[in-house]
Amino acid sequence: MELKSMEKDLAVHTSSTRNPAELFFVAVFFLGAAFLLTQLGSQTKILANKSILAQPGLWPGLWLVGMAVGALITLAYLWRTRHHNKHGKLSAELLQWLRSSEYLLWFMGYALMAIYLGYLPSTLLFCAILTYRSGYHNPKTILWAVVSGFFIVVTFKTILQVKIPGGVIYEYLPAVIRNFMITYF
Amino acid sequence: MDLIYSSLASLARMDVILALLAGSIGGVIIGAIPGVGPAVAIAILLPATFSMDPLVGLTLLLGIYGSAMFGGAIPAVLINTPGTPVNALSTYDGYPMTKRGEAARALSLSYGASFLGGIISVACLFLLAPVLASIAPLFGSRDIFLAALLGAVLMVIAHRGKHTIAALLFCFGGFINTIGFEIVNYSKRYTFGQTWLDTGVDLIVVVLGLFALSQAYFLLSGKDDKQHVPEMSGSLFKGLGEVFKMPRVVLPSAMFGVIMGIIPGVGQFIAQFFSYALAQNLSKTPELFGKGSPEGLVASETANNAVPPAAMIPLLALGIPGEALTAMMLSVFYVHNVIPGPQLFQDKFDFVLSLYFCLLALNILALGFLMISTGWLIKIIAIPNRFLGMIILTFSFIGVYSLRNSITDCIIAAIFGVFGLILKRLDYPIVPIILGMVLGDIMEKMFRRSLLRVDTLLDFINRPIAAIIFGIIILSITLHIWSLFKLRVTRNRLAD
């Protein structure tokens, strides 16, 4: 019983399957921290006649040192255990990161659409198109997505009156509808 | 007595009642959907609460926080998938019970355990309130600085097997917080001449990116899991009564939850671990744990729902959030100029009591809602992952853009979303970054204030409270290093 519980404790502290991009990620992190540390003098003000504890650069410097030291220790450990339980290739993992970043572009596209088309039209369009892009080609699912989008707009803009400015396109609407759309949709 | 009546009267307001209903029901639904979780919901709703009355906004957010764990038990028990990360332990015993045909019993045990955990924790809040009101004002800037440092140390210790990662991500969060214009010396830090960085990187934008957007990207780039939701037969009320017959499990588990909730940086996972281990040790059938033990299920659910109310204690009394979700809620306080900390109990004690009553009501409403709606809530589990990702992405836009109507905020959030996704894929924690931003800010402010009163660094610990906290920091680090050393010895023995 004692051995089993010890093995369980051990399992928490030893690596299980290791992502091949860990070393890459921590190395980039370390390089970033080291670079930012070199910029400490130029990116923070140095006050003459004041102790180091009162300098504006103290806390950014401390955090960057913490990042660099933490990254270095982690790098050393990862390098030592780089052949243990590795699963997959670095290139495949990096490609997966890149693929997932596609949705960053979707999000930014939505944000820009909302500025020009207005919150309601852009949300309905976005929900429909992204649902289709995600592989749901069933009209019922796309309709559900559009209804969900409408529900979100009504909840936040119409009911809770969260501040989202009207779209540029609203300026071309007749005056009566324009104010209504700007206020509620 | 007048104070209690006036605090209770706040609950009779229509906006507070709506917040109670939305928070408890919304929290249960959000918790029941695997892949969402209270962090995503709170990140999205935060900006919307800025225009609400502080009691209303906090009630809504606390409702989601506390009630999510009620709902999170549903997929954990029925399909072996925790609705929120802290319901993971409930799968160990809840799912085997479902496989035995005891799904209704398992669910009602979870609900009852969560309810009792929440109620006991709120009761502790009420009992501790006068103590806190007298102790909190004794905390000065040095004491709060060290308390924040203790929170950071405990948070790192709590990430077993990932200490250096947690530490470096905490430092990263602390660094991000320093970017921008620094008002004490009227200087800019790490803006690289970019005017959009002058106002710094907003905590809520980072939170939305790391929690909500990263989860949306993760779900959208993954596959849909085909979930078969089992049939549920039997009454939910039977298991509810059964929980009341387990005081030896419920009371210690609730106490662990309260203690771990009070200690900054620790949270639900440690509370569950201790209460589960204790329940197993005290059980007459320890061999059933992990195979469908009602006691195991009750222990984990009681502990994890006792944490949220208790986590309000360091936040309200010292202004130090214990974990990421309360760290997010800190911004609601500041926006309304209700500054948590030692003065809050002296200046706005009625507000504090109103919050406690709301926490009580939230638990009652969540339980009541679950008893009548579990049948259709089960259908929510089957929402496809990528569809869910699309919904979260849509929600996230309103959360980010409503803050300052800034496309720059959207870009920053989107980039942090990718960063959060990378951390998820590497199985690295996100919470240290948020705590780094919040605790780092507190540490810097309190450190500066303390400099006016100290001559040397040793003066930081020449007050009794500061000395005790410093002692706890040293003890925690020492004990942890000792446990790591023992583990290394064990590993060498096993290898031999």
Q: Tell me: the pLDDT tens digits for B187-212?
A: 999 999 999 999 999 988 998 899 88
Q: What is the ipTM of this complex?
A: 0.89
Measured between CA atoms, how close is B91 to chain A, in angstroms? 18
Q: Radius of gyration of chain A from Cα atoms?
A: 26
Mean pLDDT of chain B: 86
Q: How far is C-alpha A83 from the chain's CA centre?
A: 30
DSSP character for B292? S
- Identify the pLDDT of residue A167: 87
- Cα B154 to Cα B143: distance, rounded to the nearest angstrom: 16
Q: Is a pLDDT exceeding 80 seen at residue A15? A: no
Q: Is B407 in contact with A115 (Cβ distance < 8 A)?
A: yes
Contact B254, B53 (CB under 8 A): no
Which of A:42-71 have CB within 8 Å of B?
43-45, 47, 53-54, 56-57, 59-60, 62-64, 66-67, 69-71
Is residue B51 helix, strand or coil? coil
Range with lowest mean pLDDT among B144-153, B267-276, B279-288: B267-276
Pairing label, strands B180-182, B187-189? antiparallel
Measured between CA atoms, how close is B165 to chain A, in angstroms? 7
Q: Is B189 in contact with A56 (Cβ distance < 8 A)?
A: yes
More confident residue, B104 or A6: B104
Task: Name which of A10, A156, A158 to mutate to probe chain B: the one with the most chain B Cβ atoms within 10 A of its Cβ.
Answer: A156
B391 touches chain A (CB under 8 A): yes
Mean pLDDT across B129-142:
80
Predicted structure pTM score? 0.85
Best-predicted range by mean pLDDT (B270-279, B397-406, B410-419) = B410-419
End-to-end CA distance of chain A: 64
Mean pLDDT across B446-464:
85
Measured between CA atoms, how close is B118 to chain A, in angstroms? 29
- Cα B417 to Cα A110: distance, rounded to the nearest angstrom: 15
Amino acid at A67: M
- Identify the pLDDT of residue B48: 82
- In percent, how much of chain A has pLDDT > 70? 89
Mean pLDDT across A167-184:
87
- Identify the pLDDT of residue A12: 40
Mean pLDDT across A45-63:
90
Between A67, A101, A162, which is nearest B171 by CB?
A: A67
Q: How far is C-alpha B394 from the chain's CA centre?
A: 24
Best-predicted range by mean pLDDT (A58-62, B131-135, B152-156) = A58-62
Between B167, B395, B494, which is nearest A70 by CB?
A: B167
Task: Name which of B145, B177, B181, B398 to mutate to probe chain A: the one with the most chain A Cβ atoms within 10 A of its Cβ.
Answer: B398
**Residue pLDDT, tens place only, A160-175:** 888 888 888 988 888 8
Q: Is B418 in contact with A100 (Cβ distance < 8 A)?
A: yes
Confidence of residue A14 (pLDDT cuts 50, 70, 90): very low
B475 touches chain A (CB under 8 A): no
- Identify the pLDDT of residue A35: 96
Is residue B188 helix, strand or coil? strand
- Cα B131 to Cα B373: distance, rounded to the nearest angstrom: 39
B336 touches chain A (CB under 8 A): no
Q: 């944490």: which residue's tokens?
A: B307
**Residue pLDDT, tens place only, A66-115:** 999 999 999 999 888 877 656 678 888 899 899 989 999 999 999 999 99
Q: Is B393 in contact with A163 (Cβ distance < 8 A)?
A: no
Q: Which of B326, B302, B328 is nearest to B314 (CA)?
A: B326
